[in-house]
Amino acid sequence: MTIKILIADDEPNQIELISYNLHQAGFEVTSAADGQQALHMAENILPDIIVLDWMMPVMSGIEVCKTLRSMAETKDIPVIMLSARGEEGDKTLGLDIGADDYMTKPFSPKELIARIHAVLRRSRPALTQNILEYGSLRLYPAKKLVERDGHRVDLGPKEFRILALLMERPGQVFSRTQLLDHVWGHGIYIEDRTIDVHMSRLRKALEKNAKDKHQPDLIRTVRGSGYALSEPD
């Protein structure tokens, strides 16, 4: 399962350098050129981690990080703060407002990649493990395999990514827009009902492999909000 990273920096050369190295390391990368755009994209695509520059137009990285931490949907997304400000007080401020790590420019891309892996191991261990478990469900990201009650569940690639996202953050409600942006990519126009079609396929595949056919759906619809995992069976 590819880890999605959002980079927010107003320097095009910096974004290009970081993006290239993260792509080479196997990450999926999206970028924003100012703080407000970064906040909007974070809400919609729900990246697995954000690399956030301190000094940006419209909204600073500090303001973005504070806002991310104040919203239920984004409060748990790990953030690595980048800054040319290397004073101890600046680092302390960055960490105090909610950043998970702080790097002073200039830095080596290899160090950034190592820091990303370290932060994910601490804050999102499910992403770095070989298996996700929820009740009778098991999902193997590397093998693109799902099992329920020990039986293989045949899923298409889109249904697999939807289920993986739901299992990474059990209990969180995802809107159709968030699911579409996470699975299809930000900025690609897809009708909302498309997600309903794939969700129907996912539910049927999970139900087909359940021991008890009378169990409630593993995926619940939250009226007016979106979808979330039900309590594990």
Encode pLDDT of 119-131 as tens digits: 988 887 777 767 8
Exposure string over 201-220, b if 16+ CB within 10 A, otherwise e: ebbebbeebbeeeeeeebbe
pTM given for the model: 0.69
Domains of the chain: 4-127 (3.40.50.2300), 132-229 (1.10.10.10)
Distance CA 127, CA 117 (A): 10
CA distances from 145 to 10, 12, 150, 204 (A): 39, 38, 12, 16
Encode pLDDT of 1-60 as tens digits: 678 999 999 999 999 999 999 999 989 999 999 999 999 999 988 999 999 999 998 999
Does residue 51 or residue 85 have the better pLDDT?
51
| H or E segment to which residue 153 belongs | strand 151-153
Tell me what the mean pLDDT of segment 187-203 comes to.
Answer: 84
